[in-house]
Amino acid sequence: MGHTLIEKIIMHNTGDADVRAGQIKTVKVDRVMIHDIFIPFVVDKFKEMGFTKVWDPDKVVLIYDHLVPTSAVEDVRHFQIGDAFVKEQGLTHFHRADGICHQLMPEMGYAKPGDIVFGTDSHTTTYGCVGCFSSGIGYTEMAAVIGTGEMWVKVPETIKVIINGKLPENVRSKDVILRVIGDLRADGATYQALEFSGSTIDEMSVASRMTMSNMGIEAGAKCALFAPDEKTCEFSGVSMSEVDWLYPDHDATYSRILTYQAEDLVPVLACPSNVDNIHPVSEYVGTRLDQVFIGSCTNGRLEDLATAAAYLKGKQVAPYVKLIVTPASRSIYREAIAAGYLEILAEAGAIITQPGCGLCCGRACGILTDGERVLATNNRNFLGRMGTSKVEIFLGSPATAAASAVAGMIVEP
């Protein structure tokens, strides 16, 4: 029998000739990411376990993104502990307000095809966009990993998702992954790998694939993988010859196979207050909005900002609607300036913030209150996620969000 992508990655890491779903394997970790919220807890556990030195200072990445800028006095403590740990351990990779961790990890080359990477955030699945086995873990596990450089994993079963054809112009990868989540449900891929393939996937940019890998966790997936191609190699700075082993075998075993025809897909929304509550945008046309958010590790990339600028060029955000735009990283921010996208958005009335997590995690930059309604491009719409528990959160693509910001209500892009 052949092997799935996740099995190939674990085999490559361990040197085993054969790996199968359900087996327990100890892997050597290629990189870890710790974000600002978890830094104090990881450091405390690390010391409690008796460690004094991280296993490899070059393989530990600290990123300040959730608490930037600070919105509570206690936030400062996280930075103080993080800065002290960087100096104490001689860490060579740390980022203070350079962008969202899940954008920076693949963008900066910390997560590459075939790597095994763990992070202290559930959306670490994002790096599967380049064929990296990446998954979120808790602070106790992370403390053990940075002390030993190893982690045990149960080899996941795999759900294969095949998408063929050409997407309609108003359908984005965000619509695709929301449709998949709606079909799987929030627990439908629990501790399984998602493996994406098909002609539609082949045509997608790495940025679009990032959106889909990012939201794999919303169906409970342990990871969400794309086999690397020329686009991946260019993005990650590797050659195809380095990753020619990283593909699923035609006779691999899957727990389930989902097949879609791209032309049948339509713009959709995740409606309050569950990510798997998926409905066509057409069912909610005319729903009044108080705020629109375009950003996050799901949809804060250059192509997302380009989409928003295309819809808003020469137009104005609707009266009484706040449009908040947050680029996913400092480099994307600069690229968007150079391309003229941020000028277009600013002239249309958008509020443009510094790169970071901000509104998505209910911190700085735009939280809402009782009775307000927001259409956002991020990854979760749980009660209380972006303000009080009486805020209604709809999730959609950047195209749907931008068009709706102009209309002041939900519209089809």
The share of the chain scoring above pLDDT 70, in percent, equals 100
Q: What is d(CA 111, CA 118) in angstroms, rounded to the nearest whole number?
A: 10
Compute the average pLDDT of residues 115-144.
98
Give yes or no for residue 363 having a pLDDT over 90: no
For residue 223, the cross-strand partners are 193
For residue 194, the cross-strand partners are 159, 224
- The fold for domain 268-407 equals Aconitase; domain 3 (3.30.499)
Residue 90: what pLDDT?
98
Give yes or no for residue 365 having a pLDDT over 90: no
Residue 327: what pLDDT?
97
pLDDT band at residue 397 using 50, 70 and 90 as cut-offs: very high
Residue 383: CB partners within 8 Å, gap ≥ 6? 272, 273, 389
Q: Are 104 and 123 in contact (CB under 8 A)?
A: no
Compute the average pLDDT of residues 93-103.
96
Give yes or no for residue 19 having a pLDDT over 90: yes
Compute the average pLDDT of residues 61-83.
94
| Amino acid of residue 365 | C
pLDDT band at residue 86 using 50, 70 and 90 as cut-offs: very high
| Average model confidence (pLDDT) across the chain | 97
Residue 266: what pLDDT?
98
pLDDT band at residue 358 using 50, 70 and 90 as cut-offs: confident
Choose between 311 and 69: higher pLDDT.
Answer: 311
Do 5-262 and 268-407 share a fold? yes
Residue 166: what pLDDT?
98
Give yes or no for residue 71 having a pLDDT over 90: no
Q: What is d(CA 198, CA 339) in angstroms, rounded to the nearest whole number?
A: 31
Residue 197: what pLDDT?
98
State whether the Cα torsion 329-293-412-382 is positive or negative.
Answer: positive
Show me where the domains of the chain are located.
Answer: 5-262, 268-407
Q: Nearest to residue 213, comparing CAs of 137, 354, 106? A: 106
For the domain 5-262, what is the CATH code?
Answer: 3.30.499.10
The share of the chain scoring above pLDDT 90, in percent, equals 97
Compute the average pLDDT of residues 211-225.
98
Compute the average pLDDT of residues 287-305.
98
Give yes or no for residue 184 having a pLDDT over 90: yes
Residue 382: CB partners within 8 Å, gap ≥ 6? 273, 274, 275, 393
pTM of the model: 0.97
Residue 204: what pLDDT?
98
**Long-range pairs for 345-348: beta carbons < 8 A, 24 or more residues apart:** 345/305, 345/308, 345/309, 345/312, 348/312, 348/313, 348/315, 348/316, 348/317, 348/323, 348/406
